[in-house]
């Protein structure tokens, strides 16, 4: 565990989930001068391919590509993550140490149980982290409630906003490929999964192109925000270049 404080924190279930979902956004935030970090909730020990040790090494390699200031693993049990109080305490302590302003996490209602439970775990822990009387024995200072944005990945949900990652798409793909054990390898003798299909990474790129097309750019990553957004300057927000008719 490290004590680095960050502006933007990605919290996802398994060591490659961050890269698959918000890797481009994390690269963009880094380029804008924000300090970025990641929390992997489990070690991915129930995964069909790879080993815990190997996946940890892949996660570190991907973190280098993404330029993360910190990447931690909470080591909750893969396939058995629930929004219970022991898990909330672990998450709250991580939030209070890392002190993010914005959190990116899984989609609400994702069909993978860990993903769905983590989306709720993050929301509840973000709120509890601001309550001084919650987990006082940790000695960690409470923080202002971070804003939570859910990446849209597995369910058809209208995005609240889409981040233009065109400039960072290729580097995002490099970070994904750092998790080599999880993707197509013609020489592997391990069981096949959806991710190991030779077409999977191309499908992922096409998906980014689709969401980019919604805002008139080459590649995009979509997000859903449950709360109403406080917009200080509607003109600035609504006049971002769209290139829809150029």
Q: How do strand 161-164 and strand 147-151 relate by DSSP bridges?
A: unpaired
Q: What backbone phi and psi angles, to 5 degrees, belong to 100?
A: -75, 155
Question: What is the pTM assigned to this prediction?
Answer: 0.93
What's the chain's average pLDDT? Answer: 93
pLDDT tens-digit series, residues 132-191: 999 999 999 999 999 999 999 988 899 999 999 999 999 999 999 999 888 877 777 677
User: What domains are defined for the chain?
Assistant: 8-238 (3.40.50.10320)
Instruction: Cite the beta strand spans of 4-106 per DSSP E.
Output: 8-12, 36-42, 70-76, 102-105
The pLDDT, as a whole number, for residue 8 is 98
Which ranges of the chain have pLDDT less than 70?
1-3, 189, 242-246
Give, as one character, the DSSP assignment of residue 181: G
Nearest CA-CA partner of 108 in 58, 166, 149: 149
């Amino acid at each position: 565990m490290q004590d680095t404080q960050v502006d933007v924190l990605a919290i996802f279930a398994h060591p490659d989930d961050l890269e698959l979902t918000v890797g481009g956004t994390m690269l963009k935030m880094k380029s804008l001068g924000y300090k970025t970090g990641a929390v992997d909730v489990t070690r991915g020990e129930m995964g069909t391919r790879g080993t815990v040790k190997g996946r940890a090494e892949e996660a570190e390699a991907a973190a280098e590509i993404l330029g993360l200031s910190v990447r931690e693993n909470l080591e909750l049990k893969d396939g058995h993550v629930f929004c219970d109080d022991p898990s909330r305490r672990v998450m709250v302590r991580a939030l209070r140490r890392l002190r993010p302003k914005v959190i990116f996490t899984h989609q609400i209602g994702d069909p993978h149980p860990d993903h769905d439970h983590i989306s709720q775990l993050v929301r509840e822990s973000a709120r509890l982290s601001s309550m001084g009387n919650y987990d006082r024995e940790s000695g960690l200072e409470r923080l202002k409630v971070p804003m939570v944005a859910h990446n849209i990945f597995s369910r058809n949900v209208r995005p609240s906003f889409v981040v233009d990652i065109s400039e960072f798409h290729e580097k995002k793909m490099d970070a994904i490929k750092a998790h080599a054990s999880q993707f197509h390898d013609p020489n592997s003798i391990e069981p096949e999964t959806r991710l190991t299909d030779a077409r999977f990474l191309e499908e992922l790129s096409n998906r980014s192109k689709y969401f980019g097309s919604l805002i008139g750019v080459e590649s995009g990553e979509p997000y859903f925000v449950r709360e109403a957004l406080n917009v200080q300057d509607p003109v600035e927000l609504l006049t971002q270049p769209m290139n829809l008719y150029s």
